[in-house]
A and B are shown apart, each in its own frame.
Chain A
Amino acid sequence: MKKKRILICDDEEGIRESLKLILESDYDLVFVKDANECLEKLKKEKEISLLLLDIKMPKISGLDVLKDVKSLKPGLKVMIISGYKSVETASEAAKLGAVDYILKPFESEEILEKVKKYLE
């Protein structure tokens, strides 16, 4: 069976490498470093099933990328990864269509479980 493709958008090598460690055996991973690259990739690559998106800013404006992604690909499942435990940001992300909100530092089990759940 062909592995499902996940797009991972994070500006930090450490996080990208960590997600690679966790997910690479089960999924086909594509990495981008910032929002622009992310949108470019989404335009080109047709077969992306899930987007793991890092939200850096504590403010709602950090979710602008999510808005852009959703207007480009309304059907795409997006999981937000963030260092901020903020109810407002989480609920705003849900409103904008994110399927989940994962807090850093995350557990590898949690990532695997959730990714599996949304890709079934």
Chain B
Amino acid sequence: MNFFILSSLAAFLLNFLISLIFFFKSRGKLPSTNLGYGCLLASVWGLGCFLSSLANSVSNALLWFKIAHIGTILTPAVYFDFTYNLVKKTYPNRKIITTVIYIIAFIFLALNFFYDNFYKVDYYFNSIYFFRCYFSDNFYYIIFYLIFYLFLVLYSLFLLIRHLKNINPNKKNQIKYFILGSFVGWSGPEGMYLFIIFHLPVYPYSNILIAIMPLIFAYAILRHHLLDINIVIRKGLIYSFLIALITSIYFIFILFISRIFQSAMGYSSYIVNLLAVFLIALLFAPLKNKIQYLVDRNFFKGTLTSLAHEKAKLEEELRRSDRIKAVSTLAAGMAHEIKNPLTSIKTFTEYLDKNKGNPEFIDKFKRIVGSEVDRINSIVHQLLDFAKPAALRLKNCDIHRLLDETLTLLSNDLLKYNIKLIKQYNAQNLNLQADPNRLKQAFLNIILNAIEVMPNGGILTVSTDQLDDELSIAIKDTGKGISEKDLPHIFDPFFSTSEKGTGLGLSITHGIIKEHNGRIEVKSKVGLGSEFRIILYRF
């Protein structure tokens, strides 16, 4: 057993595991499935190297090495395919290019299996690794393969980096992980081929990097979408160093024990070596944990859960920056909303002396000044609701009952405006933990808007659906719809297209749903109507 064999095994196991996670989690979505195939191929490489190193004859070693190369040859093509799917650009001739690339890859694959001079095999016993197989000395093979390989990898990287410019910050972080992972993964084999061309005797380190690559990918997609890239790099480097250190100590110990046994008994015993491995493994687990704990405490100021905390912190910061943005929009909107009634009140009081004897003026004064004061009062109340919402009072809620209660409140309006109500309650077993009053407020705001956009009658459809742990509540109207220009702003505080509204209703609704860890999706077509879909999670 040597490090090359172990790293091959690690590359196999890790990549295989991650590919399973990708297949399982992606549910057939293209970029993630591609990445699953990529990791599966990397695991084939790991397995091939592992078994090739354990083989007891040159022909066996060669066979496994050829199998390992299925991974090497196909991975760049799959990676390229993945990148295309990820950046989702409809490049001209995209299908043709992808097909041609797969055909070339399969030609190399055929050469790999059926052309005997493709590889040169050296074998060394008592060396750091048992067999060394590599591409033929034939210069043209290597050059052609290398060009193909480099083109795919570099072009993919180019697409990814260019894609970085046009995406939102969260997605950007994800892509950065891919680039980091790709760089780590690819720099292994790339480097190896260059060394082979120049006949440099270099330790085959690529397995180690190939084992790290899926870890970065997995880490990026499945757990830490929002985590800053620096944390991953720091953590990755420190842990790699730590693992290398621990493994070295581990091997030195085993070697030491086997030497002691040999010098004492005069022969080497596998059983004793295995026992030593077992013993040291037992001793090492607590030691490793201790070292890891120390590293975490000193470098990351926390325990193993520090990453989760850092993620939560980052998310909180994002939320806060959202909030700051909301507050500044709020301040601007409020200025306008309050300045209007202030202007009227000011002008009317200014003209009071002049018009004291005018009953028409006095009537208008009472009506307008009165309603403007009410308006300021209502804005201040809503603002308080928005800025400092009371803590959620979670209870077991029946969503259908909440919807019915809200609709009852509005039944007069529905009648008045000749709006037909359709209820489609498809969800069942609704044990949802939520704040009933605030959810009702959220529903009310959306339904009020729906009623407002159907002054001449229409159909209001309220439906619920359930998928796994997701519960969706859809409120659909047949009103005038929201224009594409307005759609991104409907949740902004004080954004309103109606004369009556303050523009706070939907932004309050948005806040309530976010507090429940849910989300709102809006679909709208001008002239046809809008659909607000609230998605809540059962927890």
Contact = CB atoms under 8 A, between A and B. Distances in A.
A22 B355 CA distance: 12
Interface string B345-368: 111101100010000000010001
A117 B485 CA distance: 38
A56 B337 CA distance: 9
B395 interface: no
A21 B344 CA distance: 10
Nearest to A16: B344
Contacts of A116: none
Contact of B336 (A13, A14, A19, A83): A83
Given A11-B499, A18-B347, A83 B340 contact: yes
A33 B343 CA distance: 17
Contacts of B336: 56, 58, 82-84, 104
A15 B332 contact: no
A49 interface: no
A107 B364 CA distance: 20
A106 B343 contact: yes
Interface residues of B, number: 24
Contacts of A105: 339, 342-343, 346
Nearest to A19: B347
B341 A58 contact: no
B390 interface: no
B515 interface: no
A17 B343 contact: no
A92 interface: no
Contacts of B368: 13-14, 17
Given A17-B364, A17-B368, A84-B335, A104 B347 contact: no
B372 interface: yes
A23 B71 CA distance: 83
Contacts of B332: 58, 84
Is the interface on chain A under 10, 10 to 19, 20 to 34, or 35 or more residues? 20 to 34
A21 B347 contact: yes
Interface string A92-120: 00000000000011101000000000000
Nearest to A59: B489
Nearest to B494: A58
Interface in A35-78: 56, 58, 61
B372 A14 contact: yes
A84 B336 CA distance: 6
Contact of B347 (A56, A58, A108): A108
A115 to B, nearest CB: 14
Contacts of A61: 485
A12 B340 contact: yes
B499 A83 contact: no
Contact of B339 (A11, A21, A83): A83
B340 A14 contact: yes
Given A17-B364, A58-B336, A83-B336, A108 B350 contact: yes
Given A14-B368, A17-B364, A17-B368, A22 B339 contact: no
Nearest to A12: B340
Contacts of B372: 14
Interface of B: 332-333, 335-337, 339-348, 350-351, 355, 364, 368, 371-372, 485, 499
13 contacts: A11-B499, A14-B340, A14-B344, A15-B340, A17-B364, A18-B343, A18-B348, A21-B347, A21-B351, A21-B355, A22-B347, A33-B499, A104-B336
Interface of A: 11-15, 17-19, 21-22, 33, 56, 58, 61, 82-85, 104-106, 108
Given A14-B343, A82-B336, 13 more contacts: A13-B368, A14-B372, A15-B343, A17-B344, A19-B347, A21-B347, A21-B348, A21-B351, A56-B336, A83-B339, A83-B340, A84-B332, A105-B343
4 closest residue pairs by CB, A with B: A14-B344, A83-B336, A18-B347, A83-B339
